[in-house]
Amino acid sequence: MTIHKEGYKTLTFTALGCLVFSSIFWFFIGKNDLLTQIAFGFSGFIFLVILQFFRHPTRHTVINPHHVIAPADGKVVVIERTREEEYFKDERIQISIFMSPFNVHVNRHSVSGIVKYFQYHPGKFLVAWHPKSSTENERTTMVVENTLGTPVLMRQIAGALAKRIKWYVKNGDRAIQGNEYGFIKFGSRVDIFLPLDAEVKVKMNDTPIGGETIIAVLK
């Protein structure tokens, strides 16, 4: 378990803020006062909450060209047949995974292959489970054509709190199943769009593990 690089600056400012907050109580109320002890306890709690958000656990991916691996930790909130308008412009199976502030927020490649399309879209910050968040929120869209020649679309979506989408890919890059391709801060969602003949292996409210759980099988 390590700390993600995106957390270094946030954790530094959080630690300084907690230190200043606690020091005010220490100097003006007294180190042995109950309020000072509560202030130190509260500061420690806040720092630990932020720290756990940026954890970056090691995941072990079994690479298989037929498997679609969960791109993130979280809860499955959408499994439906829908029309994807940005790239495919036809009907696909959509699987959406919602990441709460307590989930690991590393985003991983669901399939191995070549990045055929990547686009960043500025937008709104609706709550991540809102039906329109997939098309109106700040987001990125990436299409990876796997080694079988099957394109899979993954979309990072910012939520009401998640206003920092990070990505580490561009068109033409080689994607390796299970490897990190991005990060979203403080609550968000990832959508995956699959061919209609894909066999879905998860159900609503399941809690897949990013980089390990098989969420679908491609024909």
Point out the residues that are catalytic.
Answer: 188
Q: What does the radius of gyration of the chain's CA atoms come to, in whole angstroms?
A: 20
Separation between Cα atoms, residue 105 and residue 53, nearest integer Å: 7
Q: Residue 100: how many CB atoms within 10 A of its CB?
A: 15
Tokens of 130: 């809102």
- The closest alpha carbon to 57, from 98, 11, 8, 104, belongs to 104
Tell me the DSSP string of 87-153. Answer: TT-EEEEEEEEEE-TTS--EEE-SS-EEEEEEEEE--B---TTSTTHHHHBSEEEEEEEETTS-EEE
* Torsional class of 15: left (φ above 0), alpha (ψ -120 to 50), beta (otherwise): alpha
